Amino acid sequence: MNILTIIEKKKNKQELTKEEIEYVVNGFLKEEIKDYQMSSFLMAVVLNGMTIEETFYLTDVMLKSGDVLDLSSLKDKVVDKHSTGGVGDKTTLIVAPLVASLGVNVVKMSGRGLGHTGGTIDKLEAISGFKTSISKNQMLDQVKKIGVCIASGSASLVPADKKIYALRDVTGTTSSIPLIASSIMSKKIALGANDIVIDLKVGNGALMKDIKDAKLLAHYMIEIGKRYQKNVVCVLTDMNEPLGKAIGNGLEVKESIGVLKNHGDEKLKKLVLTLAGHMVEKGLGISFDEAYQKCQTNLENQKAYQKFEELVKWQGGNIDDICISSNVISLKSPSTGFVNKIDALKLGNLAKILGAGRIKEDDNIDYGVGFVLNKKVGDYVLEGEELVKIYTGKTDLLLEDVVSCFSITNNGVEKESIIIDVIG
């Protein structure tokens, strides 16, 4: 068996065996298969896909490349959550402490930025001192004490996915249903929770561009979950404009704190309440409506924010010291009218160029840069009125590139619902 034969087989749209997929993943992990060879294999998968069986084999071999977290020492039920990522996606920062504030345990292993999407770990590291790399025992101890932990996870958990994930980020191989499904589900299963809620984003700023593909991805993840006796719920959500108003690591932490204090963007608040509602429904064994109301109450009374404060303190962070650039440009609207469209993908890529994301695998993040939108789709804007604040660092952008992300017309448009569908 050799990697060139397997690449050729997948290039010709042939189904791979379990043994062939094991050979590729384990060989890459042992560095017997080189980055350039793995990149070629991943591109073949992006172009030609994988069957559900191949995707299950890929998930299983990545899962078995490391340990599985044993949650039996936790007395209460644990519910997990994942987002497929998008521009301005800061839901985990809000949902995890909100759910924990209602007595449902959350053990969350998050990742770094992938493509044009921001990573939860990068956002948390914008908080001075916040430790994202902690051991399995520390994670469990923390959850026993405060009910929540968000970490990059132990190196012993799905190491194959970590290595493949980092390569996908810098080789244009992020948008693949089998690769996304196996990456997500290997991590979710390794974390041991029986109930998993997935925020599956759809649209211009998401990895999934259309609803058909998003539903197929949901089907893959739900089917993989069933093979491990896991209950998976996929909430399909709109990503045709940035989520919330902030794009950039420190800026998104600030916005998350605002929502945890029951302020901020209403669509973002609706999304986090829906995701948290499904998690609390599973965790407490109550109806979704009752769970949603409980979540809303804990935003209003700021118990969710207090839990976030507790989380930050436990992981060594200083909530009063969040990295945000002091170099700010106020970008004005070139015309009067309604914001008809915002190119979330382009804004996400511009934020990456600013330094909020990685272009190369070993790039350093500038935690303080990004955008804060003053106007969203459907809003009316006057010529000369502020459209967006740009927080810059060492790299500047052409302002016309940012302006071109906003389509302003004379005709108003309806604001789309953030929730598209719930599957599972």
* DSSP one-letter code for 357: S
Q: Is 75 exposed, middle or buried (0-12, 13-18, 19+ CB in 10 A)?
A: exposed
Q: For residue 6, what are its two tokens? A: 């397997």
Q: What share of the chain is helix, strand, coil (3-state, %, to 5)?
A: 45, 15, 40
C-alpha pair distances (Å), 398 with each of 97, 147, 392, 395, 404: 38, 45, 12, 10, 10
Give the whole-angstrom CA distance, residue 328 versus residue 182. Answer: 40
Residues listed for the chain: 424
Give the whole-angstrom CA distance, residue 192 versus residue 153. Answer: 13
DSSP state string for 224-275: HHHHTT-EEEEEEEE-SS-SSSEESHHHHHHHHHHHHTT-S-HHHHHHHHHH
Query: Is residue 126 within 8 Å of 323, Cβ to Cβ?
Result: yes
Task: Write the single-letter amino acid at 97.
Answer: P
* Axis crossing angle, helix 177-190 with helix 159-169, rounded to the nearest 10: 150
Give the whole-angstrom CA distance, residue 87 versus residue 201. Answer: 10
Give the whole-angstrom CA distance, residue 301 versus residue 154. Answer: 34
Residues belonging to the active site: 82, 161, 168, 183, 187
* Segment holding 409, helix H or strand E: strand 406-409
C-alpha pair distances (Å), 310 with each of 96, 137, 304, 306: 12, 19, 10, 6
Q: Is 96 exposed, middle or buried (0-12, 13-18, 19+ CB in 10 A)?
A: buried
